């Protein structure tokens, strides 16, 4: 649902990469989303969400299910756990094809933050919201043939919730576009001049949604503590942009080469979000050979562990020290290690993993539903 033709986001790049990779392998890949209008896409409508940057909330479950059925797929994947998640189950059941869910967000923790406030000061409402969201997610996902999660941490969390069919499936990065070769001293100099910054300014770059759970205020304050000569450049859109004397904002873009140029020309990539299930932008920065500093929690911390700097809190002073270290003399070996990890996540490798999972799910479903079949797909350990 959270894929808008007017918004630049990691979701957009993931779906685009899967579409390109699967069609190149002979699959017919159809995207159903609000406002979708390109070849191989279906518009399912939806109500605009104020202040969201172009997102729409889908309400018509039956209508969406009929659109899915009309595409006559062999397998259907849901990329969100809301109305479309249920529509996928409805359509898959009538079509007698497998349904796959990809868990892109930690819904229980997101609801807890929403109910309890950014600092979690309202503990009782937060616990209540998290408990009910977890029960909802379990009720939905237990109906799917396969559930995929992009990090081992999220996979374990789903297992703890009782979603035993959850399996770990990381996302990928296009290493032909996100590459150290995207670095350009001339482009960096032009950007600094455009932003009114001195030539030797240290650039800390964030790329992604401007939303509360990204903790962009922590990054802005941490960069401010480093003093003159340090700036946070935030690329993206959303309801909660970072603000401050040493903050510069750039509008979101769907031009992946421009994103790669910015990441490759940064002194460090920074992300303080503590509810990420993967960390696509961090992976893209690593593929550009740029040092990364991220929150130690969730998928971000897991992805960057051992190849970048991870910060286990929201304390501004701790973040300021980590940012200082990221542009110090010891950052180069970490950047090289991050580049190697990113190349192991190249989309060419990851798309093949997805295709293999889809083929297996189709085979398992057909065997399980063959006349007189007693077969049940094996459960992951």
Q: Is residue 3 part of a domain?
A: no
Report how many domains make up the chain. 2
Q: Is residue 375 part of a domain?
A: no
Which residues make Cβ contacts (< 8 Å) with residue 364, sequence separation at least 6?
Answer: 98, 145, 375, 377
Residues 336 and 354 in one domain: no
Domain with 208, as residue range(s), is 180-343
Burial 253-270 (b: 16+ CB within 10 A, else e): eeebeebbbbbbbbbbbb
Q: pTM for this structure?
A: 0.91
Q: Is residue 121 part of a domain?
A: yes
Beta 41-43 vs 31-33: how paired, if at all?
Answer: parallel
Angle at which helix 123-141 crosses helix 83-95, to 10 degrees, equals: 10
- What CATH number did the domain enclosing 334 receive? 3.40.50.2000
The pLDDT tens digits along the chain (381 residues) read: 777 655 557 778 899 899 999 999 999 999 999 988 888 899 999 998 886 667 788 999 999 999 999 999 999 999 989 999 999 999 999 999 999 999 988 888 878 878 876 555 568 888 888 999 999 999 999 999 999 999 999 999 999 999 999 999 999 999 999 999 999 999 999 999 999 999 999 999 999 989 888 999 999 999 999 999 999 999 998 889 999 999 999 998 889 999 999 999 999 999 999 989 999 999 999 999 999 999 999 999 999 999 999 999 999 999 999 999 999 877 788 899 999 999 999 999 999 999 999 999 999 999 988 886 655 555 554
Q: Is residue 215 part of a domain?
A: yes
Q: Is residue 230 part of a domain?
A: yes
């Amino acid at each position: 649902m959270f894929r808008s033709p007017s918004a630049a986001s990691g979701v957009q790049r993931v779906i685009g990469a899967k579409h390109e990779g699967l069609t190149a392998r002979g699959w017919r890949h159809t995207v159903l989303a609000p406002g979708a209008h390109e070849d191989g896409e279906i518009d399912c409508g939806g109500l605009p969400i104020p202040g969201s940057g172009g997102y729409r909330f889908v309400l018509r479950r039956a209508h969406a299910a009929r659109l899915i059925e009309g595409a006559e797929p062999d397998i259907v994947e849901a990329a969100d756990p809301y109305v479309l998640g249920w529509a996928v189950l409805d359509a898959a059941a009538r079509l007698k094809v497998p349904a796959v869910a990809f868990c892109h967000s930690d819904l229980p923790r997101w609801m807890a933050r929403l109910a309890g406030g950014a600092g979690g000061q309202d503990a009782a409402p937060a616990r209540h919201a998290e408990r009910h969201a977890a029960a909802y997610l379990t009720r939905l996902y237990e109906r799917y043939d396969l559930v995929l999660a992009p990090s081992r941490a999220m996979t374990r969390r789903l297992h703890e919730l009782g979603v035993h069919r959850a399996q770990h499936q990381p996302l990928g990065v296009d290493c032909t576009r996100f590459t150290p070769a995207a670095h350009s001293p001339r482009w960096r100099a032009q950007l600094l001049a455009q932003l009114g910054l001195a030539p030797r300014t240290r650039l800390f770059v964030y790329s992604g949604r401007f939303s509360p759970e990204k903790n962009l205020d922590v990054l802005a304050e941490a960069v401010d503590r480093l003093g003159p000569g340090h700036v946070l450049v935030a690329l993206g859109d959303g309801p909660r942009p970072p603000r401050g004397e040493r903050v510069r904002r750039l509008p979101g873009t769907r031009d992946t080469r421009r994103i790669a140029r910015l990441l490759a020309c940064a002194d460090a990539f920074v992300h303080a979000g503590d509810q990420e299930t993967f960390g696509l932008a961090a992976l893209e920065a690593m593929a550009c050979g740029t040092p990364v500093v991220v929150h130690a929690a969730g998928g971000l911390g897991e992805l960057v562990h051992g190849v970048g700097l991870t910060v286990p809190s929201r304390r501004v002073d701790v973040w300021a020290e980590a940012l200082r270290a990221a542009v110090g003399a010891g950052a180069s070996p970490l950047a090289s290690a991050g580049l190697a990890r990113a190349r192991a996540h190249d989309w060419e490798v990851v798309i093949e993993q997805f295709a293999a999972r889809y083929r297996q799910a189709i085979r398992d479903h057909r065997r399980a539903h063959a006349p007189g079949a007693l077969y049940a797909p094996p459960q992951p350990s």
